Amino acid sequence: MNILNFFGKSKEKSIEWLEFFYCLVEVRDYLKFEYGNNNNNNNILIRNFIKLLDWGSSFLASQINDYAESLTDYVFWESRQFYLESMREFVAGKSDCSEFIDQVLQPMLSDRREGQDLEKDFQSQLTLEVDSKSFQFSKLISNLILPLEAFDPEPEEGEENYFTEEILREGVKRTLIEMEKYFEN
């Protein structure tokens, strides 16, 4: 199934909504910067207009959230075999935490940035064919970024290390179990 029927509206409509969302956010942010985001601004019309833009962008965000997430899913999905193999090797003990982090953290961060860039590349979105099986795949992988960034194999002297290699490996194992469901037919 492609993205065309994935969200109940056409891909073109989803792209229009996403483009309008970014337009609203840009206008809102400009006005907040120019006129302040506090109640010290004496012009109630400007304050109310900024509130209206806040409400409008929040509403649009809720309407296009799944579509925007599918764009990031698309990017991560392209690397799914790499993540699967890397996680399997780590869980099997073929690599230690430092090796695993060195291997996967930068690709994860890169995929996340690429997904964010793709959200604003409306022309590229027109030609994408997103596999519906990939829905929320990026969220699964992205949930590992913070633990990988936070892991410290050599904590400062006197610091207790609550986040051990064993805990990280167990977290990756749980994620791997969920990830393998994406590879079932």
Q: What residues of the chain score a pLDDT lower than 50?
A: 1-5
What contacts 155, CB < 8 A, 6 or more positions away?
161
What contacts 114, CB < 8 A, 6 or more positions away?
75
Provide the pLDDT for residue 3.
Answer: 45
Nearest CA among 129, 117, 16 for reference residue 63: 16
As a whole number of angstroms, the distance between CA 16 and CA 129 comes to 17
Is there a domain that residue 137 lies in? yes
Is there a domain that residue 97 lies in? yes
Is there a domain that residue 73 lies in? yes
Structural domain range at position 130:
11-183
Is there a domain that residue 16 lies in? yes
Nearest CA among 25, 19, 15, 18 for reference residue 57: 25
Provide the pLDDT for residue 7.
Answer: 58
As a whole number of angstroms, the distance between CA 98 and CA 60 comes to 41
Instruction: Say how many domains are in the chain.
Output: 1
What are the C-alpha distances in Å from 27 to residues 35, 50, 52, 147?
A: 12, 9, 11, 35
Provide the pLDDT for residue 2.
Answer: 47
**Are the beta carbons of 87 and 176 closer than 8 angstroms?**
yes
Query: pLDDT tens-digit profile of 81-104?
Result: 999 999 999 999 999 999 999 999
Provide the pLDDT for residue 23.
Answer: 95
Q: Write down the H helix ranges in 36-164.
A: 44-78, 80-91, 97-119, 122-127, 137-142, 145-150
As a whole number of angstroms, the distance between CA 15 and CA 179 comes to 28
Is there a domain that residue 148 lies in? yes
As a whole number of angstroms, the distance between CA 1 and CA 69 comes to 16
Is there a domain that residue 4 lies in? no
Is there a domain that residue 5 lies in? no
Provide the pLDDT for residue 165.
Answer: 85
Is there a domain that residue 166 lies in? yes
